[in-house]
Every structure is written in C-alpha cells, then in structure tokens.
Amino acid sequence: MIDMHTHILPGADHGSRSVEMSLSLIDAALSVGIDKIAATPHFYLSSGDSVTYFLEKRNRAFTRLLPALGERADKFELYLGAEVNLRLGLSEIDGLKRLCIGGSNIMLLEMPLDKVWRDWVFNEVSFIIDRHNIRPIIAHIDRYEPSQVAKLFDYFPLMAQINAESLMSFFGRRKILRYFDEGLVYALGSDVHCEEEAYLYYEKAVNILGDDRMSRINARSRRLLSEAVSEDLK
C-alpha cells in the first residue's frame, strides 16, 4: 500500500523532529503493510523560502535519514515531494515543478481553508496546470467545503488525496465515501507528523474502505508513482 502524504523527514518541516522519530514512524508504516511512502514536507510561499532553499533543506533531512534506515531500506520505496500550500502568486515562482513528487508532474497541493474560494484560487490552479504542466493532487480533500470542492473539480481535471483520519468520524466518512463514488480519490495518506497513531488510523481506514475501494486506490496511486522516481535507499 501507499502513503501519499507524510511529514516523516527529520527536521524538514514541523513533522518528524529527529532521525529516531522518523524511523519509528517508518516502522509503524511498514507494520500496516505500506511499501511506498511519499515524503511531502510543507512548502509555504509565505515563509519566503525559495524552491531551491526548500529542496536543499529537504535533501539535508533525507541525507540524515538515509544511513539510519538499515534493513528497512529493503522494505519500502521513498519518493521525495512536497505539500505545496496554494497562495496568490504561487504559479509565478521559478522551478515550481521541482516540488512535484519524484520528478514527475504530480504535485500535492494544499488548498486554503476559506469557506469560499475566491477567483484567485481558481486562477492559480489554472496557471499551475497550464503554465507549468503540473497535475495537482489536492491534499486532504476532506478538509474543504464540499461546495468549493465540487466547483474546483468541475473546472479542472484534478485528483484528490484523502487523510486516513478523516474516515474515523461518521460525518467525515460519509463525505469521503461520496468523493469515492464520484471517482475523485486517487490516494490515501496518513499525513503523519509526529504520532505513530496515524498508522492506526491508516489501518482502520483500509478496513473501512474495503477491498474494492482499496484496490482501486492502490492501482491509481501506483500508476501515479510509476511516473515518479523513487530514491535509492541503499
């Protein structure tokens, strides 16, 4: 199985705080049957960081983790990406495509939490697709207003990622299953930051979704990652 959304690189953002923490999160992921992990540290345009600065920081975190992996390196594939926060002007920055997962053109894109998305939101998404040839996968679609999600997916050929934890509540579950039925969901993620419990949610989510939905989501995620290059962990 695939975890398309994690903050497991040590010190890359406000996720894992140490190599030891990253290793225990990876162990938790492996214990529930995950064999492909996308490391997606936060990229915030508002922090003033350039893409180059972000990539250097991410690479330092990866380089710290790598020698500590030991036998785990044989058990999973790691893809480097980012969770890119959508802000006005994002589409204008240089090298945006370098934030896509594993050198593909697939970008995990985090939307604003506003109740109503203004025109600039739709314009930015349009520019990201058209000017940069990027295919966004909308991060934790469960967090946003359904009316805004419907409008966004009406306008653009997008994909959605859901957080496992969102399936734990009755209302969250209803909303997510509707998105499934509408064919929007392409990936499941733990969005793990520091807590191994995230993988208990992942395991429960797999059971809630059932075999049919999981085989569909795994097939879609695998297809997406087939366009990406995994890191050599040895």
What does the binding site for Fe ion look like in residue numbers (CB under 5 A)? 83, 191
Cβ at position 197, least distance to Fe ion in Å: 15
In the complex with Fe ion, which residue's Cβ is closer, 46 or 123?
Answer: 46
Using CB positions, name the residue nearest to Fe ion: 191
Tell me if 6 sits within 8 A of 226, measured CB to CB: no
> Residue 139 region, left (φ>0) first, then alpha (ψ -120 to 50), else beta?
beta
Which residues have C-beta within 8 Å of that of residue 93, sequence separation ≥ 6?
45, 50, 51
Cβ at position 229, least distance to Fe ion in Å: 22
Cβ at position 234, least distance to Fe ion in Å: 28
In the complex with Fe ion, which residue's Cβ is closer, 3 or 83?
Answer: 83
SS3 118: coil
The Cβ of residue 79 has, within 10 Å, a number of other Cβ atoms equal to: 22
Cβ at position 44, least distance to Fe ion in Å: 12
In the complex with Fe ion, which residue's Cβ is closer, 85 or 105?
Answer: 85
Q: H or E element: which one contains 77?
A: strand 77-80
Cβ at position 221, least distance to Fe ion in Å: 16
In the complex with Fe ion, which residue's Cβ is closer, 3 or 77?
Answer: 3
Longest dimension (CA), the chain: 49
In the complex with Fe ion, which residue's Cβ is closer, 36 or 71?
Answer: 36
- Determine the Cα angle at 155 with ends 150 and 159, to 5°: 70
